């Protein structure tokens, strides 16, 4: 996952407020509201073979996320879709990760910022396996984070808001310093929630279990994998999952646009098999995004 090249010093093009600009010139002022008050939302999506998977779903979610924060993006979903395709073409990319971002500008400073411009930028770059190829073979080793997902009455949990990822960064930094790959986070009640940037799935007796997404995002990859599992006739159970239940699960994997489908071999004191069903669902997902199968 490490990248030796700085993200601000690259060749290429970024779509910025309606036009392509050279990568190094896609800058904002230090007094941008989003930098001080986290008034920004984003998406993460992947292109495979020149086609962006679930593009419109991601663009719709970007607009929804912004609306939850009281921001009106000045572009339609179809315009955002086309801008993403334009960025992919301009950078001559086939397999890529894309990052659309919307944020409040620098016209007003203070907690209240009713009269600022809403900016949008879209960038794209090649990004291989999020956790590395070895993680796909061996499975991730997770620690349990001390940080918890917030209650829905304390934060805009249905928005992919940048501010909500502060605790994710803190959680992952802390566990990586101890040699772990990522952190498994519980929610404010103590129930199993998700990893720092990916949804969680568990397997027991041929059934798929996943926490109810009532305080974290119901990920697009999560929804896709549920569809793939049901297509195979696998029963999918969405429920509250308590930590003491983890001992009973046989397999565990994460899903996300960046993570795709990545197996987990351990989470805290609990160990899991990198099993056939996990790897089958991973292959189904890879086949789907590369248009080798249909999810209809």
Instruction: List, in order, residues 6 or more apart from 130 with CB less than 8 Å away.
Output: 1, 256, 258, 259, 260, 262
Per-residue pLDDT of the chain (296 residues; tens, 9 = 90+): 445 679 999 999 999 999 999 999 999 999 999 999 999 999 999 999 999 999 999 999 999 999 999 999 999 999 999 999 999 999 999 999 999 999 999 999 999 998 899 999 999 999 988 888 888 999 999 999 999 999 999 999 999 999 999 999 999 999 999 999 999 999 999 999 999 999 999 999 999 999 999 999 999 999 999 999 999 999 999 999 999 999 999 999 999 999 999 999 999 999 999 999 999 999 999 999 998 767 65
Do 147 and 267 fall into the same domain? Answer: yes
Q: 137 φ, ψ to 5°?
A: -80, -45
| CATH number for the domain that contains residue 243 | 3.20.10.10
Which pLDDT belongs to residue 29?
Answer: 96
- The full 3-state SS of the chain, as one line of letters, equals CCCCCCCCCCCCEEEECCEEEEHHHCCCCCCCHHHHHCCEEECCEEEECCEECCHHHHHHHHHHHHHHCCCCCCCCHHHHHHHHHHHHHHCCCCCEEEEEEEEECCCCCCCCCCCCCEEEEEEEECCCCCCCHHHHHHCEEEEEEEEEECCCCCCCCCCCEHHHHHHHHHHHHHHHCCCCCEEEEEECCCCEEEECCCEEEEEECCEEEEECCCCCCCCHHHHHHHHHHHHCCCCEEEECCCHHHHHHCCEEEEEECCCEEEEEEEECCEECCCCHHHHHHHHHHHHHHCCCCCCC
Measured in whole angstroms, the distance separating CA 136 from the mean position of its chain's CA atoms is 18
Residue bearing tokens 């411009």: 117
End position of a domain, from candidates 125, 155, 172:
125
Which pLDDT belongs to residue 296?
Answer: 59
Do 216 and 281 fall into the same domain? Answer: yes
- Tokens coding 124: 């794209």
How far is it between the farthest Cα atoms of the chain? Answer: 57
The answer to whether residue 211 is domain-embedded is yes
Instruction: List, in order, residues 6 or more apart from 212 with CB less than 8 Å away.
Output: 238, 239, 240
Any catalytic annotation for residue 160? yes
Q: 227 φ, ψ to 5°?
A: -65, -40
Q: Exposed, middle or buried by CB within 10 Å (0-12, 13-18, 19+), for 48?
A: middle
Do 67 and 107 fall into the same domain? Answer: yes
Which pLDDT belongs to residue 62?
Answer: 98
Which pLDDT belongs to residue 67?
Answer: 98
Which pLDDT belongs to residue 1?
Answer: 44
- Tokens coding 42: 């984003």
Residue bearing tokens 């996320």: 65
Do 148 and 19 fall into the same domain? Answer: no
Q: Which domain holds residue 30?
A: 13-125
- Partners of 261 in the beta sheet? 255
Choice among 19, 138, 146, 160 that is catalytic: 160
Do 164 and 223 fall into the same domain? Answer: yes
Q: Tell me how many degrees the CA angle 16-199-99 measures, rounded to the nearest 5.
A: 10
The pTM assigned to this predicted structure is 0.94
Please tell me the number of Cα atoms within 13 Å of 293 on its side-chain side. 14
Domain count along the chain: 2
Which pLDDT belongs to residue 2?
Answer: 47
Length of the chain: 296
End position of a domain, from candidates 75, 91, 125:
125
Do 170 and 78 fall into the same domain? Answer: no
End position of a domain, from candidates 125, 151, 184:
125
Do 137 and 92 fall into the same domain? Answer: no
Alpha carbon separation from 48 to 20, 56, 90, 93, 192 (Å, rounded): 22, 15, 16, 9, 31
Beta-strand relationship, 182-187 and 40-42: unpaired
């Amino acid at each position: 996952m490490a990248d030796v090249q700085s993200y601000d010093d690259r060749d290429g093009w970024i779509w910025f407020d309606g036009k392509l600009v050279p990568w190094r010139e896609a800058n904002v002022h230090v007094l941008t509201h989003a930098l001080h008050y986290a008034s920004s939302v984003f998406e993460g999506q992947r292109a495979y073979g020149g086609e962006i998977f679930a593009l419109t779903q991601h663009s719709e979610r970007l607009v929804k996320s912004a609306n939850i924060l009281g921001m009106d993006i000045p572009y339609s979903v179809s315009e955002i879709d086309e801008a993403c395709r334009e960025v992919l073409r301009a950078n001559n990319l086939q397999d890529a990760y894309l990052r659309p971002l919307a944020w409040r500008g620098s016209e007003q400073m203070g907690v209240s910022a009713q009269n600022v411009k809403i900016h949008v930028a879209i960038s794209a770059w090649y990004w291989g396996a999020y956790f590395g190829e070895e993680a796909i073979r061996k499975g991730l080793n997770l620690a349990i984070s001390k940080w918890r997902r917030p209650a829905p009455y304390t934060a805009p949990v249905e928005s992919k808001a940048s501010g909500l990822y502060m605790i994710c960064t803190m959680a992952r930094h802390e566990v990586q310093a101890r040699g772990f790959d990522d952190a498994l986070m519980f929610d404010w009640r103590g129930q199993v929630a998700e990893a720092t940037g990916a949804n969680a799935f568990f397997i027991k007796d041929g059934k798929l279990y996943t926490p109810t997404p009532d305080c974290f995002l119901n990920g697009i990859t999560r929804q896709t994998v549920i569809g793939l599992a049901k297509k195979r006739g696998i029963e999918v159970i969405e429920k509250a999952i308590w930590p003491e239940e983890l001992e009973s699960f046989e397999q565990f994997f994460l899903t996300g646009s960046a993570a795709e489908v990545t197996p987990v071999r351990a989470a805290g004191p609990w160990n899991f098999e990198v099993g056939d069903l996990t790897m089958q669902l991973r292959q189904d997902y890879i086949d789907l995004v590369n248009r080798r199968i249909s999810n209809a």
